[in-house]
Amino acid sequence: MKMSRWYHWVEKKTSKLLLISLLSLGLAVAVPMLVSGVLIPTVNAQESLTSTNSQVKMSVVARNLNNPRGLAFKSDGALYITEAGINEQGIEIPGPAPGVILDFGSHGSVTRLYQGVQERIITDLPSITVETRGTQLTPSVNGSSQTFGVSDIAFDRKGDAYIVLGYATNPIYRSNLGEAGANLPSLLKINLTPKGKVVSIKKIADFAQYESQANPSNDDLVSDPCSLLIQGNDTLVVDGGANDLLRVNQKGDISTEAVFNPRYFPNIDFPVQSVPTAITLGLDGAYYVGEFSGFPFLENVARIFRLKRGQAPQVYAEGFTQIIDIATAPDGGLYVLEYAFHSLLSGDPTGILIHLSPSGQRKTLVSDGLVFPTAMTIGTDGAIYVSNYGSYAGIGQVVKIKIVS
């Protein structure tokens, strides 16, 4: 162990655990799942929210979600939302730090929102929640939960969906979870009918196995994939637990695209983990990766990296706090979503949405009304859709943000 006192190691690894506080089958359906036909009318779906920015209009378009995370639109205009799940009381496994206990269950899901109707199309996906009895150096704010499960979703050109399942601890413990936990953490492909019904689910890539065998960061074994980007026949996956960017080809082979190294800061005698959490493809053809930055969750130290295939990541912008997602803006800049714009140790759950122009100018678009936001996507209508109350079960939302001028 590279640190003088054991609790420094606890702090280091727990930083990865918080990364999303979240905030991912050679046989066709090896994931325990239930295709659900229950429809939830989106009552008051266009409820207005208040913003101090007069150029922004906000409204709720989906509600009653369980730790909502990734968002993606299919070509038909349907919005798909991944939900990490609810607080678990199931099989216990050790967490990534001494004293931390994780409870395994099957409460993850995928919800479809189409023409005002909200429907969970998949349920019973595997998920993990931090057991409150264990040692927690990561704060629970106003009942928020540290739940890991279905982290993100994206669609390929054929309309098939891909999701990543998070995990947040050593892959060795996965064997304790039996068949139900065999897909933590992994990339799954979901074949859907035109109306959003599930035909099959297939495991494409196993990140636990790759982390155990390759360990690209040469650090402790932890895997927690939390964001993905489909480009051509490949899928790029950001693993915040392993601190790397991975590429998965059509055959399911995994390779390391980049590693994000820890940093040292004055008055902190242990390395601060990068904890990459987000990826987008810029208009210039480069990848942009946002980092959360780990314990002690310093303010204004999170960075955005720019890289092209085969090249090392370069710092593109810095001075952010706990980046949870990024998206390409129409002007070639970036939208940057911060999970909380004050240190998590402050207990303030307020998130923030920022526009970063190509010239580096920053403008706050929304802060009021965002509570631990966890993901965003851009709709065909040009609006920004954000997973809000992203670390809460039962009260999660998707918020539509429209820039009016």
What total number of domains does the chain contain?
A: 1
Instruction: Give the structural domain span for 236.
Output: 6-403
Q: Which amino acid is at 87?
A: N
- pLDDT for the residue numbered 168: 87
pLDDT at residue 230, as a whole number: 97
| Residues 6 or more apart in contact with residue 321 via CB below 8 angstroms | 298, 299, 300, 301, 302, 338, 340, 341, 342, 343
Answer whether 316's CB lies under 8 Å from 284's CB: no
Whether 1 maps to a domain, the answer reads no
What pLDDT score was predicted for residue 41? 36
User: Could you tell me if residue 145 is inside a domain?
Assistant: yes
- Sign of the torsion angle spanned by Cα atoms 296, 169, 254, 230: negative
The DSSP annotation for 38-94 comes to -EEE-TTTT-EE--S-TTEEEEEEEEEEESEEEEEE-TTS-EEEEE------SEEEE
Give the H/E segment covering residue 324: strand 323-328
The pLDDT assigned to 45 comes to 33
Structure tokens at 48: 């207005």
132 found inside a domain: yes
Contact 131, 92 (CB under 8 A): yes
Residue 231: closest CA among 168, 303, 156: 156
**For every one of its 405 residues, what pLDDT tens digit does the chain have, with 9 covering 90 and above?**
222 222 233 333 433 434 333 332 222 222 223 333 333 333 333 444 656 677 889 999 999 999 999 999 999 999 999 999 987 678 888 888 777 888 898 999 999 999 999 999 999 999 998 876 655 455 566 667 788 999 999 999 999 999 999 998 999 999 999 888 989 999 999 999 988 899 999 999 999 999 999 999 998 899 999 999 999 999 999 999 999 999 999 999 999 999 999 999 998 989 999 999 999 999 999 999 999 999 899 999 999 999 999 899 999 999 999 999 999 999 999 999 999 999 988 889 999 999 999 999 999 999 999 999 999 999 999 999 999 999 999 999 999 999 886
In a domain, 72, yes or no: yes
Within-domain flag for 296: yes
Supply the pLDDT for residue 139: 54
* CATH of residue 155: 2.120.10.30
245, 289 Cβ separation under 8 angstroms = yes
Secondary structure class of 319 (helix, strand, coil) = strand
In a domain, 141, yes or no: yes
pTM: 0.87
With respect to residue 324, please indicate whether it lies within any of the assigned structural domains.
Answer: yes
The pLDDT of residue 11 is 38
Residue 303 lies in a domain: yes
Please give the pLDDT value at position 132: 67
DSSP state of 139: P
